[in-house]
Amino acid sequence: MLFNSYEFIFCFFPIAFAGFFLIAKANHRAAAAWLGLMSLFFYGWWSVKAIPLLLFSIFVNYLLAGKLSPFDDDNEKTRKTYLYLGLAFNLLLLAFFKYVNFFIDNTNTILSTLHQPRLPALNIILPLGISFYTFTQIAFLVDCWAGKVKERNFMHYLLFVTYFPHLIAGPILHHSQMMPQFSAKNTYKINLENIAEGLTLFSLGLAKKIVIADSLAGYVNQAFDHAGQGTIITFVDGWAAALSYALQLYFDFSGYCDMAIGLSLFFGIRLPMNFNSPYKATSIIEFWRRWHISLSTFLRDYLYIPLGGNRLGPFRRYLNLFITMILGGLWHGANWTFVIWGGAHGVFLIINHLWRKWSPSPLSQEAKENKAVMAIYWLVTFLCVCFAWVMFRSDSVATAFAIYKGMIGANGFVLPEQILQIMPVAQRLFHAAGNMPTLGGGSIMGFFNELVLLLIGFAMVLAGKQIAALNYKSRLVLIAATTGFIVNSIFFAVPQEFMYFQF
């Protein structure tokens, strides 16, 4: 069930909302149970077969969590044993469903070169949202062991893990952010200001998804499909594909998060912000403080710092950064493209830290006030991010390199025929490369449409204002401004799946 589907907007959500507050008048715990059951129904809409695995994971983790909290008479060695058991349980569960096929495929590639018998394919189906609910529960176990968990109500824990706005594609929640809200009395009372803010965020997220992300999806898919099929990608084609995907991914995922945060506000529950204008970043370090914030925070707190962080000297610091980003890339999917993408960002971060260490005051107030310097920092950062996104989007390393060849001009700095048709003067200066099928779908109208979407998208990401900073009246204006787009899109567009569902 998609947030942008008829059944969700006109059926599921109204029932979940009305039932929650009607039941809350009689009993708060029953209302929480209702929301938990509706969340399981929402998850089961995708696959009823996946529900037992989700519940099994929840029950096992909850039981282990009860063994981890420190008490005066606890044996520290026993508690650590339970912690390692919990970590192993979650990681093995994730590894089996997400990485066994990847392991078998790569092992069979090696066996084929050695002319040895191949391993049988298992064709394991990846359960939706397993990466998100596994990481959520790993953090809970670690915090139980550290004595940071105060809330123990099972129904609240079940709701914390399964809460439908975040269950499928995040953000990755922390118990301290959520479980106290399930205990708060104000959560169970309708708040009109929360609803107004939630409607604003949901509307803008829906507009991001339908108007920008879904409109760019066709052009992005054509470009990468043609690259994978061996079509020569020119300079303009390559950059159009890379820039279109950078905007598609941002508007799709941030749109989902805006919708999730907005929906949650209807219930009086605040989810953490997951994006903070990441394409305004002037360094890779800053980018990762702005992009997918919940994942970045998890990787920092539960992987980078336990590895030693920056406490063991410069070499270990950079090695820990690289390992963290490699594993962060692998978390996104079982493909070498994700490993390379994560490794690239690891290298970018190391270079960024070395630059800050060796360069003459790169973060000085004087440098920050110099617009030309900051523009260069921004451009270098954005180009690095875009180059890495190509690898992230590609289904194979070969496809990514086909796009890269075009981007660096290895296939020539020619202009596609679509552009030359409307620029007679340029025809004398440039050689036409034919009617490039990847640019705007192969037509002049498609080229203009893609160009307009890119201009609108960049205007929004570079000049946009955070919704939280807007006042009540401004939110109402935004709702009115986007209503026409949304109503038109809901009734005339086919709902498309959110991109992060695959992770």
292 is catalytic: no
What Å distances lie between residue 414 and 354, 383, 429, 449, CA to CA?
A: 37, 21, 10, 21
Residue of 156, 174, 226, 332 marked catalytic: 332
End-to-end CA distance of the chain: 17
Main-chain phi, psi angles of 464, to 5 degrees: -70, 155
Radius of gyration of the chain (CA): 24
Strand partners, 309: none
Q: In this structure, what token pair is assigned to residue 198?
A: 């939630």
Q: In this structure, what token pair is assigned to residue 58?
A: 């929840």
Separation of alpha carbons 349 and 410, rounded Å: 27
Separation of alpha carbons 277 and 271, rounded Å: 17
Sequence-ordered list of residues with C-beta below 8 angstroms from that of 319, at least 6 positions apart, any chain: none
Least Cα distance to 468 among 274, 228, 242 occurs for 274
How many CA atoms does the CB half-sphere of 473 hold within 13 Å?
0
Sequence-ordered list of residues with C-beta below 8 angstroms from that of 321, at least 6 positions apart, any chain: 304, 346, 349, 350, 353
User: What's the gap between Cα 73 and its chain centre?
Assistant: 42
Separation of alpha carbons 416 and 233, rounded Å: 10
* Other C-beta atoms lying within 10 Å of the C-beta of residue 358: 8
Q: In this structure, what token pair is assigned to residue 264?
A: 């949650």
Catalogue the active-site residues: 332
